[in-house]
Structure formats: C-alpha cells, structure tokens
Amino acid sequence: MNKLNELQAVELDILKEFMRVAKREGLTWFAMFGTLLGAVRHNGFIPWDDDIDIALPRKEYDRLRLSQHWFSEPYFLQTPQNDPAAAPHFIRLRRSDTAILMNFPNGYTRGGHMGAYIDILPLDDMPNGDVAKRVQETVAKMQVQMFASAALDECEGAEIPEGKERFCYGAGGISGQYDFLAGRYERFCSKYSNQLYYSIPVLGGEKGGKVYDKKWFSEGVEMDFENLKIPVPVGYQETLIVSYPNGLYEPDVKDRKPKQRDHCIVDLNRSYQEYIRRYTDMLCDIESKKVYIFGAGDSLRIWMERYSQGLNVVCAFDNRKEAWGSSAYGVPVRSPSELPALMDENSRLIISSIYHKEIAKQLEVMKIFDYYFFIDGFKYTRCVNNAK
C-alpha cells in the first residue's frame, strides 16, 4: 500500500462511502482507467495520480443517478440533472467539506458544487467504434449546449455581458430549458441496447471514442486497492490495452505530476462554499454598509448602473496614480493606501475589475481579508445572510 497524500486519502474516503452504498443497493461497478491501472500495478493509487475513476453499466448508472437521497452530507451525488451551475458531463460523488476549484470563476455560471470528488462513468452499449466516435461528437455538442443554457439561466437580458451572450447563443443555449436538455442528453447517450460493446461517450478525447467488449465486464474480479478490495473487469488486461493504446509504460519522472494541482485550488480543510461566497454574496446584508469599490474602470460603471441605487457608495480605489483625486461615474477615486484606515465592521469592499485576482493578492498583503468580487456574468440579488 502506498503512503497516501492528503487528496488521495480524501478520495479514498469518498470511494469507501460509494462502496458502502453500492453494496447495500446491489450495484455492479468496476474500476477504470488510472484506478484500474493502479490496482493492477500498485495495489492502490498510481503514486503520482490524484483521481479515482469507476464505471457502471448504464442501467446501474441510471439507478444511481436518480438516487441522490442514498447519500447524506458531507457527501453529495452530483449529476448532470441536479447541479446545472456545474453542468457536469457525468456523475461525481463529492465531499462538501472540501474544495477543488477548477476554472473558477469562469464568468458564465457559479460553478455548482466544487468539493473533492471521484468520477463515476456510464458504460453505454455501442454497436462499434465508428458509431462510438459519432455519438461522442454529438454528445460533446450537447454538453456545450447544456452549459450555455445553464449560463443563460444565471443571467440574461440587461445583465449579460457581450462575450457571454455571444458564447451562449452561439452554442445553442436556451434559457429555462436546462432540465429538458439534461434529460435528452441521458437518453441520447443510452440510445443503443443489447450491443456487443461498451463505450463511454460522455468523455472527451480518445477515451470517449473507444469501445470495450462487453465480455470483459461479464463479471468482476477483486483486487487490492490501498486498504480496500475493489472490483475490476474480468478482462482487465484487455480493458487496459484498449484504454492505453500507446502502451502501459510508466511516464518519465518529470511527467509524473498530479492533474488536480496544476491549474486549480485544492483545500481539503475548508468547504468550497467559503471560497465562492466572495464571488456570490457581494450584495448580502449590504444596505447598512459603507460601500467601497476597488477599480475605477468600466466595471465600476456597470456596477453603479446595476446595483448602486439606495446604497451608500463612499468612494472607489484605483492603482492608477493619475486617477487619485478625480471622480469616476459619480464616485470619488482615492489611493488604495487609504483603505486600511477606512475598513471596519460596517464596510463592504467590492473588487470590480478584470484584474480581481491580482487586486485580491494586493489586499491580503495589506492585511485586508474581508472583500468581495463582482464578476460580470453572475446574477446578484440583495439578500439577508441568516447565518450571521
């Protein structure tokens, strides 16, 4: 058994919870891809890998997909149907008390549930490889349309920025139709039955266009995976050969890198909700606050037009020295160096700039941690935070 890193340990916990429910409900499932290879080669995780992939025949997958109630917090069964803001392509079992933020904020949706997860894939019947590739191509277009439709449900009309509007309508997005599209998506993926092969068209790239002989999945064989025993296809060798057509060689040492940590925030001690509230809650409990805006460019104009009515907007801050002492869109502009002396419990500081990440780092160097972001493309409403 390998010495697990923190993320692997969390994913193993999620897998244990899935296995508990799968055993209770009599689900048939198999390890796939890196998880299968890890079981065969390492009796656990590939040491530099950081995800878990499992797959179920479509009927079993649909039973699971329609049974979110089988899991309780901190576990959340995320499906293409129950989390439109994420518009996931397949099921993920997530843990709500953790955070893995990838491509967030994207300016289109609020991202949905972003806890640590394992991937749960459908094995769909398929006649042959040529059909599998055509199905995969159509599925990819449907996935983009679903995401575009979810983005339109986030905001449309006067609040939608031009770039988002162009993407959403260009991708065939339809506001108010996400549920219909998500249902059609599942029906299309599972359109074939009683075929000789399985495929996983919900995946992009080469893996989504491969076909696997169903005989390889006629039964499961137990293999060690860390401190567990997990089922692998009886034809696991053939399954691996198809999954990795370029060979099962270990990569060069320089290429042995975990995928999850390269382009995302991984925090296994805090919930993703603690991260996203800064992006979603800028108007909550704002009525009695002194409002400060960081950024005196066009984003300030948009913010003032949409949200300033009835609020006490004191001033804006900007890093451009030439702007200090001037006025932008009716708001005086001051130096950021004045901020620490002004901030108190009755202040609301909102970053309104395309450089929001850089400004956030600047504020934290100044020991200012109570700030929010305005992202043009999200829908904001005034609310009362009952948690306070």
Tens place of pLDDT per residue across the chain (388 aa) = 455 689 999 999 999 999 999 999 999 999 999 999 999 999 999 988 889 999 999 999 999 999 999 999 999 999 999 999 999 999 999 999 999 998 888 889 989 999 999 999 999 999 999 999 999 999 999 999 999 999 999 987 777 899 999 999 999 999 999 999 999 999 999 999 999 999 999 999 999 999 999 999 999 999 999 999 999 999 999 999 999 988 777 767 766 677 655 668 899 999 999 999 999 999 999 999 999 999 999 999 999 999 999 999 999 999 999 999 999 999 999 999 999 999 999 999 999 999 998 999 999 999 999 999 999 989 898 887 654 4
Handedness of CA 183, 185, 191, 193 (dihedral sign): negative
CA separation for the pair 51, 162 (Å, rounded): 36
CA separation for the pair 295, 132 (Å, rounded): 50
Domain stops at, among 273, 293, 310: 273
Question: pTM of the entire structure?
Answer: 0.90
**Residue 386, in any domain of the structure:** no
**Bridge partners, 102 (sequence order):** 264
Peptide bond before residue 105 is cis, with ω within 30 degrees of 0: yes
Token reading at 202: 């919900």
Answer yes or no: do 200 and 268 share one domain: yes
Answer yes or no: do 261 and 119 share one domain: yes
Domain stops at, among 221, 253, 273: 273
How far are the Cα atoms of 52, 185, 318 from residue 368, in angstroms, in the given order?
Answer: 38, 45, 16
Domain that holds residue 250: 6-273
How far are the Cα atoms of 7, 12, 273 from residue 281, in angstroms, in the given order?
Answer: 28, 33, 11
CATH label of the domain that carries residue 313: 3.40.50.720
**Phi, psi (degrees; rounded to nearest 5) at 179:** -60, -45
Answer yes or no: do 116 and 55 share one domain: yes
